Structure 1
């Protein structure tokens, strides 16, 4: 038996069964198998938990539609002796963010009841607007108009206007470049056939490509950093196998930034003012509202589970009791086999523990008491010297 001072109390969190329990309880092998399954499940849950947390904390975007309205107004087009203002017109481009399911058909009035108020002004979602007027009617820089978001960061508006003097109809070519955050790309025909995407962000393309690789088991079993291309991927990458780290660079030739929306509009200086608007819908992805409040309970549930913790505590308490019963069995079994030797060993063990606690573990009193060393003639002389020193000091 081990000295009491040297015995370390087992931690409550230790849920391993004693080694000899299997000999007494053959069914304990099932518990060991369950522990192995539990370790595998915990590893899988930990991986999935990390993936869920990354997905929840990753910036999300939701699909919207940016509805454009293009129309013009005109003034002072009819000659009047009392009017001193020259004839003029104004081209107006308005935009509103609408839900895809509430977008309806283009061509409706600018303010139907189903619209929801946009979170940002129209020009917030536009990167650049270019207007090219008829060069035969306007020159000296008046025929070319460019609006760039970078020059109007703090001055966003719900509409964009071009005003000119004139009494004739004007042909205008508009190019509207949407500010996608992040940028959206048009996929090549070959890559689009593999992934089933036509327009997507670079991150979406890479995620979809990785999902395609996992679904078709194209990752090399011996070299996990290698992808063995099937017939479709070979046609895209022009290779039978590619490295995982090179996928980001290999998709570059197959991605092209979405081209600006090109529109032709005729400014009419006769008839109703404003004119009936031409409307267009543009697919757009905008950042989703903050999800901190919505995801906090889910993240908390992933991190802690009271029911699982209580079951683990019950298992560990039962295992601790098994360890205690095992020690008691060993104690009584040793006493029943040889009571005298057991008591002598127990007393000796307790004596060692007592000397260890008093700091006298280096002195062997029992050996000194039975030794013939102290039967020599030097003992009497040593005792006299000791008594003389005590009398001299006293």
Structure 2
């Protein structure tokens, strides 16, 4: 059994242009011009939408950031202190008080715990479906150093604690440092933030020119390029050459540089950003504060909500719009074809109404010529040829001269080919 052939796809009409006969007709001149203007506007709109869609796709491929607030909490707890055991912290402990100390469990040994915690604050009035899962505090930290101001002779254990994100196995909401002691301790916390994309500190001389102190590499390059265009420092003839004014000359080190060297010279003016430094005083002799100390720091994170909205516009909305536009294009094409057919019918009927006899005669002649072309050597050949021979205009057609020249050439060639004397 032969395999059933798939049905042929219906050819889609895509021609939306009006025929020249309608465009040139005085009766439809106004409407035709309005329709042509609409087509031109549609082409410009399609080009603009294509360009904007390409810009959105390019933006989606880049890192989209937004500024958020990271709140850091510093707090501490204590254990085994004299005031917790009901004693007087100013009094000298009795010799027998050591009998309550358990070195194995740490019970009775004065100690404290210092905590560094962080939380990303949520955006106010944000819808629940737009909220992205909050990142852990440790993901915002590239490295952290906690310095304990204590006497190294009395407390020989590590008074400097370091954390590096590369060495961390899991993400954490906070860090806890446990130490023994009952003396007042000043703590200094140095935090280097993890920014995506990475943020740089601009050299003070260049920062005064561009008006920015810290930004991403792309942002700093864009600011420098805006300054070059604003001051007209690009060479008028060789567009690849940048001239340095009095402010940029100390930074570039020369009067002009090629455009390709701008990123390399710019990187010399960038430095790692300043770390976040927090101070905390821990006094084990007093009860810890009820509320921790809080510090708000601005960080840049990936804007997942904006990326989702832009992706929805480019994918979901674009697909729905494409379907609607295709449907409307099909309708316009069908209406255009119907208008063309109606105009041909109107022209046919108007010609017949103006001169019925002449129209019928012309139409019959046209049909006879078409039939002769189809049948070639058919029955109508002789009648049509005799009818043409009765007309003098028939022998003034352009092809007559060509036919005579060919026939005469063939006759002379035949005479030349005959042997002499025949």
Task: Using structure 2 for the length normalisation, give the TM-score.
Answer: 0.62
Give the secondary-structure state (helix, strand or coil) at the position aligned to 2:166: helix
Tell me whether 1:87 sits opposite 2:102 in the alignment.
no
Q: Which of the residues 318, 327, 333 maps onto 1:316? A: 333
Match of 2:65 in 1: 61
Match of 1:4 in 2: none
**Equivalent residue runs for 1:1-394 within 5 Å:** 12-25=13-26, 26-27=29-30, 28-55=32-59, 59-78=63-82, 79=93, 80-84=97-101, 85-99=108-122, 119-134=134-149, 136-137=151-152, 142-154=158-170, 156-189=171-204, 192=207, 196-206=211-221, 248-273=263-288, 277-289=292-304, 294=309, 298-299=313-314, 300-303=316-319, 304=321, 312-325=329-342, 327-328=344-345, 333=351, 339-340=360-361, 342-350=363-371, 352-353=373-374, 364-365=377-378
CA deviation profile, 1:226-276 (whole Å, cap 9, x unmatched): 778899888876788877666544542343322221234444332114686
Question: Which 5+ residue runs of structure 1 have no aligned equivalent?
Answer: 1-9, 103-115, 356-362, 372-394
CA deviation profile, 1:131-159 (whole Å, cap 9, x unmatched): 233475168772332111112132x3322
Give the secondary-structure state (helix, strand or coil) at the position aligned to 2:268: helix
Contact 1:76–1:83 (CA under 8 A) maintained in structure 2: no
Instruction: Give me the whole-angstrom Cα distance separating, in 1, the residues matched to 2:54 and 2:166.
Output: 38
User: Hey, which of these two has a bigger chunk of helix by percent?
Assistant: 2
Give the secondary-structure state (helix, strand or coil) at the position aligned to 1:81: helix
Contact 2:372–2:380 (CA under 8 A) maintained in structure 1: no
Contact 1:89–1:163 (CA under 8 A) maintained in structure 2: yes
Give the secondary-structure state (helix, strand or coil) at the position aligned to 2:188: strand
Contact 1:97–1:117 (CA under 8 A) maintained in structure 2: no
Deviates more, 1:14-23 or 1:208-217: 208-217
Task: Using structure 1 for the length normalisation, give the TM-score.
Answer: 0.65
Instruction: Give me the whole-angstrom Cα distance separating, in 1, the residues matched to 2:363 and 2:252.
Output: 79
C-alpha deviation, 1:283, in angstroms: 0.9
C-alpha deviation, 1:24, in angstroms: 1.9
Contact 1:49–1:302 (CA under 8 A) maintained in structure 2: no
CA deviation profile, 1:11-59 (whole Å, cap 9, x unmatched): 7321222234343234334543443333223212221233235446755
C-alpha deviation, 1:311, in angstroms: 5.3
Instruction: Give me the whole-angstrom Cα distance separating, in 2, the residues matched to 1:101 and 1:254.
Output: 38
Contact 2:72–2:296 (CA under 8 A) maintained in structure 1: yes
Give the secondary-structure state (helix, strand or coil) at the position aligned to 1:82: helix
What is the aligned residue count? 340
Instruction: Give me the whole-angstrom Cα distance separating, in 1, the residues matched to 2:199 and 2:255.
Output: 28
C-alpha deviation, 1:310, in angstroms: 5.8
Q: Specify whether residues 291 and 344 from structure 1 end up closer, same or farther in structure 2 by C-alpha distance, changes over 3 A only.
A: same
Instruction: Give me the whole-angstrom Cα distance separating, in 1, the residues matched to 2:229 and 2:326.
Output: 34
Give the secondary-structure state (helix, strand or coil) at the position aligned to 1:41: helix
Contact 2:64–2:307 (CA under 8 A) maintained in structure 1: no
Q: Specify whether residues 268 and 229 from structure 1 end up closer, same or farther in structure 2 by C-alpha distance, changes over 3 A only.
A: same
Instruction: Give me the whole-angstrom Cα distance separating, in 2, the residues matched to 1:223 and 1:326.
Output: 58
Deviates more, 1:223-232 or 1:197-206: 223-232
Contact 2:146–2:190 (CA under 8 A) maintained in structure 1: yes
Instruction: Give me the whole-angstrom Cα distance separating, in 2, the residues matched to 1:226 and 1:123.
Output: 45
C-alpha deviation, 1:120, in angstroms: 3.1
Instruction: Give me the whole-angstrom Cα distance separating, in 2, the residues matched to 1:74 and 1:194.
Output: 51
Instruction: Give me the whole-angstrom Cα distance separating, in 2, the residues matched to 1:100 and 1:125.
Output: 18
